[in-house]
Amino acid sequence: MLTAAQGVHTGVSTDEAERIVLDIAGKLGLDGPVSEVLGELRALSIPDTAEPARSLVFDVAARLVEAVGGLDRSDFLFAAVRAATRILADFVTQAGQLSGPSTRSR
Protein backbone atom coordinates (compact mmCIF):
# COMPACT_ATOMS: atom_id res chain seq x y z
CA MET A 1 0.00 0.00 0.00
CA LEU A 2 2.78 2.44 0.87
CA THR A 3 4.47 1.65 -2.43
CA ALA A 4 1.22 2.46 -4.22
CA ALA A 5 0.90 5.73 -2.30
CA GLN A 6 4.43 6.72 -3.22
CA GLY A 7 3.66 5.79 -6.85
CA VAL A 8 1.28 8.72 -7.08
CA HIS A 9 4.31 10.90 -7.64
CA THR A 10 5.11 8.95 -10.81
CA GLY A 11 2.00 9.84 -12.75
CA VAL A 12 -0.96 8.04 -11.20
CA SER A 13 -4.27 9.74 -12.02
CA THR A 14 -5.99 12.00 -9.50
CA ASP A 15 -8.79 9.43 -9.13
CA GLU A 16 -6.23 6.74 -8.30
CA ALA A 17 -4.49 9.09 -5.85
CA GLU A 18 -7.80 9.70 -4.09
CA ARG A 19 -8.45 5.95 -3.91
CA ILE A 20 -5.04 5.38 -2.34
CA VAL A 21 -5.54 8.18 0.19
CA LEU A 22 -8.98 6.82 1.12
CA ASP A 23 -7.55 3.32 1.47
CA ILE A 24 -4.92 4.57 3.91
CA ALA A 25 -7.48 6.66 5.81
CA GLY A 26 -9.85 3.68 5.94
CA LYS A 27 -7.24 1.61 7.73
CA LEU A 28 -7.20 4.34 10.39
CA GLY A 29 -10.99 4.66 10.56
CA LEU A 30 -10.89 8.15 9.03
CA ASP A 31 -12.23 7.46 5.54
CA GLY A 32 -15.38 9.55 6.21
CA PRO A 33 -13.61 12.82 7.13
CA VAL A 34 -10.95 12.33 4.45
CA SER A 35 -13.63 11.67 1.83
CA GLU A 36 -15.37 14.91 2.82
CA VAL A 37 -12.14 16.89 2.50
CA LEU A 38 -11.36 15.37 -0.90
CA GLY A 39 -14.88 16.30 -2.02
CA GLU A 40 -14.31 19.88 -0.91
CA LEU A 41 -10.94 19.98 -2.67
CA ARG A 42 -12.56 18.74 -5.91
CA ALA A 43 -15.12 21.55 -5.64
CA LEU A 44 -12.42 24.22 -5.55
CA SER A 45 -12.04 25.87 -8.92
CA ILE A 46 -10.18 29.16 -8.53
CA PRO A 47 -6.77 30.07 -7.05
CA ASP A 48 -8.46 32.25 -4.41
CA THR A 49 -9.33 29.01 -2.66
CA ALA A 50 -5.73 27.81 -2.28
CA GLU A 51 -5.45 28.89 1.37
CA PRO A 52 -8.68 27.18 2.48
CA ALA A 53 -7.54 24.07 0.59
CA ARG A 54 -4.19 24.06 2.38
CA SER A 55 -6.02 24.43 5.67
CA LEU A 56 -8.15 21.39 4.83
CA VAL A 57 -5.05 19.36 3.96
CA PHE A 58 -3.32 20.30 7.21
CA ASP A 59 -6.47 19.41 9.17
CA VAL A 60 -6.63 15.96 7.58
CA ALA A 61 -2.90 15.43 8.09
CA ALA A 62 -3.22 16.31 11.77
CA ARG A 63 -6.12 13.89 12.20
CA LEU A 64 -4.23 11.11 10.47
CA VAL A 65 -1.10 11.63 12.55
CA GLU A 66 -3.17 11.78 15.75
CA ALA A 67 -4.96 8.54 14.84
CA VAL A 68 -1.73 6.76 13.96
CA GLY A 69 -0.12 7.87 17.22
CA GLY A 70 -2.69 5.83 19.14
CA LEU A 71 -2.11 2.60 17.24
CA ASP A 72 0.11 -0.28 18.29
CA ARG A 73 1.87 -0.31 14.92
CA SER A 74 2.24 3.44 14.58
CA ASP A 75 5.81 3.12 13.28
CA PHE A 76 4.56 1.08 10.31
CA LEU A 77 1.62 3.36 9.47
CA PHE A 78 3.36 6.67 10.07
CA ALA A 79 5.17 6.43 6.72
CA ALA A 80 1.81 5.76 5.03
CA VAL A 81 0.33 8.84 6.70
CA ARG A 82 3.23 10.96 5.49
CA ALA A 83 2.71 9.62 1.97
CA ALA A 84 -1.03 10.37 2.18
CA THR A 85 -0.31 13.91 3.37
CA ARG A 86 2.07 14.47 0.45
CA ILE A 87 -0.58 13.18 -1.94
CA LEU A 88 -3.15 15.61 -0.53
CA ALA A 89 -0.69 18.51 -0.73
CA ASP A 90 0.15 17.61 -4.34
CA PHE A 91 -3.56 17.41 -5.11
CA VAL A 92 -4.06 20.98 -3.87
CA THR A 93 -1.02 22.24 -5.78
CA GLN A 94 -2.15 20.60 -9.02
CA ALA A 95 -5.69 21.92 -8.61
CA GLY A 96 -4.33 25.45 -8.22
CA GLN A 97 -2.10 25.11 -11.28
CA LEU A 98 -4.85 23.65 -13.44
CA SER A 99 -7.40 26.31 -12.57
CA GLY A 100 -5.05 29.19 -13.39
CA PRO A 101 -6.26 32.78 -13.13
CA SER A 102 -9.99 33.11 -12.97
CA THR A 103 -11.55 34.65 -16.07
CA ARG A 104 -15.01 34.82 -14.60
CA SER A 105 -16.35 38.15 -13.40
CA ARG A 106 -17.41 38.28 -9.79
Residue 104 lies in a domain: no
Instruction: Report residue 73 CA to chain centroid gap.
Output: 22
Q: How many domains does the chain have?
A: 1
Report the mean per-residue pLDDT for the chain. 66
Residue 62 lies in a domain: yes
Residue range 79-87: mean pLDDT, rounded: 71
Asked whether the whole model's pTM tops 0.85, one would answer no
Is the predicted pLDDT of residue 72 greater than 70, yes or no? no
Helix axes 14-27, 50-69, angle to 10 degrees: 30
Residue 106 lies in a domain: no
Is the predicted pLDDT of residue 8 greater than 60, yes or no? no
Instruction: Report residue 1 CA to chain centroid gap.
Output: 15
DSSP conformational letter for 1: -
Check: CB of residue 54 under 8 Å from CB of residue 34.
no
How confident is the model at residue 37, as a pLDDT? 76
Q: Which residue has the higher pLDDT, 101 or 36?
A: 36
Which residue range is the domain that position 9 belongs to? Answer: 2-99
CB atoms inside a 10 Å sphere around CB 3: 7
